[in-house]
């Protein structure tokens, strides 16, 4: 049986801190929210490994480092309205709630449904996107901060951006293994 609190502390000390995630609020949230509670029973022993953990149905909970970077770089403040496209685990929404934000979580397959316009201060996508869904950009306030993973020629990277004029521009920051959300995959093309 894994000592989950000790494994959580080891994740913070050996995965997050050593990779530059040192924000006290981020580390406190990740210490407080138990990853294992957001995994299927058969996968709970793997909650603190430094890679994505399969959830089933083609979904995965991204590695702790991805969540640490999302929280640290987004610098979410109490009262901010945060839209989260959740991987299916509920872990990222739980982390953001600890920070005191007003959280709305949606599943990737629900992104195309009509939502409120221009409300959200921050968008977090719990996985990588090959094409950014325009429907999400319409839900963001002008200047909203956006954090996700991107995919370019099969390489995933942590990325951030801003919403302006109903569009989102993303800048890849660091190569990082991030599970790709199938709903945001680019259409396959054939070329020479």
The structural domains of the chain, ordered by start, are 4-178 (3.40.50.150)
Check pLDDT > 70 for residue 191: no
- What is residue 118's predicted lDDT score, i.e. its pLDDT? 75
Q: What would the pLDDT profile of 15-35 be if each residue is shown by its tens digit? A: 999 999 999 999 999 999 999
Region 148-174: what's the mean pLDDT?
Answer: 94
Q: What is the rounded CA–CA span in Å between residue 1 and residue 68? A: 26
Q: Stretch 184-192: mean pLDDT, rounded?
A: 70
69-119: pLDDT as tens digits: 999 999 999 999 999 999 989 999 999 999 999 999 999 999 887 766 779
Task: Name 96's Cβ contacts closer than 8 Å, sequence gap at least 6.
Answer: 71, 76, 82, 84, 103, 124
Mean pLDDT over residues 143-157, rounded?
A: 94
Structure-model confidence comparison of residues 131 and 27, the more confident one: 27
End-to-end CA distance of the chain: 52
Asked if 152 and 166 count as a contact pair (C-beta separation under 8 A), the reply is no
């Amino acid at each position: 049986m894994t000592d989950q609190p000790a494994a959580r502390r080891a994740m913070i000390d050996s995965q997050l801190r050593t990779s530059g995630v040192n924000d006290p609020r981020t580390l406190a949230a990740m210490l407080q929210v138990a990853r294992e509670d957001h995994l299927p029973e058969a996968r709970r022993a793997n909650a603190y490994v430094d890679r994505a953990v399969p959830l089933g149905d083609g979904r995965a909970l991204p590695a702790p480092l991805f969540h640490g970077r999302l929280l640290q770089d987004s610098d979410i403040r109490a009262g901010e309205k945060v839209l989260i496209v959740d991987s299916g685990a509920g872990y990222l929404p739980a982390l953001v709630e600890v920070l005191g934000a007003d959280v709305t979580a949606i599943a990737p397959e629900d992104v195309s449904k009509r939502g409120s316009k221009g409300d959200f201060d921050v968008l977090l996508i719990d996985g990588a996107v090959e094409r950014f869904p325009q429907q999400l950009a319409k839900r963001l306030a002008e200047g909203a901060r956006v954090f996700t993973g991107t995919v370019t020629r099969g390489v995933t990277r942590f990325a951030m951006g801003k919403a302006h004029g109903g569009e989102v521009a993303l800048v890849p920051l660091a190569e990082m293994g991030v599970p790709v959300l199938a709903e945001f995959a680019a259409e396959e093309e054939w070329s020479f």
